[in-house]
Structure 1
């Protein structure tokens, strides 16, 4: 077993800005590092076999919306690519964010959603953020199923229940046709184990967001602001 040496250091921060993705802004924005804890290590296995690594655990803050999140930056001597231009190995930088984030995906405020719809929504967006595109496709279908159940839509299958949402004026005719397309997307994920593209899933969630806002969020906000007055 090799000898492992570790060092820890709380680094000084500055006003320097870095470009990271912000979930709230749904795009890449300027961030500052509020705090950074640096861990470095060295593993000497003997016989000229060794490895070293650097890890930074950072609290970061978006300079657009002030949202605080967490970032981990890791490099390892065993994780590098050879550069023919510089005739050397260049270490890859691995990044993880908490909460996870991706371009284009912005969650709506879920506190006004029914609990079962809220839970499926959060799991679906989490699956997209983590690149679990088969599970995300199934989640899109499950979201539609959850809304149909909560709205007491009638029908023996999801196709008929979506049609029932239209007849109940929960969605428009165009909206019901779009939901049928999302149903097919979910069917491919569930029955054919076929992942959808990021673009398809982002678009699907934008459509879902529009439906959830119109069905739950906006009516409840109107009631909160204007009360029950007719």
Structure 2
């Protein structure tokens, strides 16, 4: 059976080691089912616990068949992974960044918003930017040359989003959180990853 493999990062063939099916009673007016699978990836041997759910409302109009909804553990196909070069981040910045990924995958929008604000604060502190509030800290990233003014202006959106989450306990929309996270990841790469990559390009440089 093809199931999402958290180790391979894609749907792969799995050997089913254990299976349990739960069904509604055949006399019930509404029909549903839940299939539980304990499986091993046929490629990398990683174990996965998968749950397949369906009900009569989920039928496919093209095939007339039931469309199942899948959940897989320890990680599902829709969960976000940290950026590949996250290991280049300073320890404190990396810790906050990983916790943001965890809160977003757990669908905790308020904590995600607060975390994004804390991430920007941690970047400013790491870069030894001084300021009495987050607005001045972000402006300091531009005046010190760490970021361009345009990048700092974009980063202010995190401040607004984080303020609402922290002070008004109001969550942003999932699409907004994803956009804010992608902005943050680009900022992280600009500050911490690109300078290290630049040092690897030596052709044509004057010693």
How high is the TM-score relative to the length of structure 1?
0.67
Q: Report how far residue 223 of structure 1 moved.
A: 3.2
Q: Equivalent residue for 1:215?
A: 191
Q: Report how far residue 82 of structure 1 moved.
A: 5.2
The question of 1:148 aligning with 2:128 is answered no
The Cα offsets for residues 9-32 of structure 1, whole Å up to 9 and x where unpaired, read as xxxx6xxx56x598997xxx5x21
Bigger proportion of residues as helix:
2
**Structure 1 unaligned runs (5+)?**
1-12, 43-51
Q: Equivalent residue for 1:47?
A: none
- Residue 111 of structure 1: SS of its match in structure 2? helix
Cα distance change on mapping 1:152 and 1:69 into 2, 3 Å: farther
Q: Report how far residue 222 of structure 1 moved.
A: 3.1
Map 1:185-204 to 2 at 5 A: 185-204=161-180
The question of 1:37 aligning with 2:12 is answered no
Map 1:96-107 to 2 at 5 A: 96-100=72-76, 102=78, 105-107=80-82
Q: Report how far residue 201 of structure 1 moved.
A: 0.9
- Residue 145 of structure 2: SS of its match in structure 1? coil
Cα distance change on mapping 1:101 and 1:177 into 2, 3 Å: farther
CA distance in 2, matches of 1:223, 1:24: 32
Q: Is the 8 A contact 1:137 1:186 kept in 2?
A: yes
The question of 1:95 aligning with 2:71 is answered yes
Bigger proportion of residues as strand:
1
The Cα offsets for residues 138-195 of structure 1, whole Å up to 9 and x where unpaired, read as 1110100100000011111111000000001111111111111111101111111111
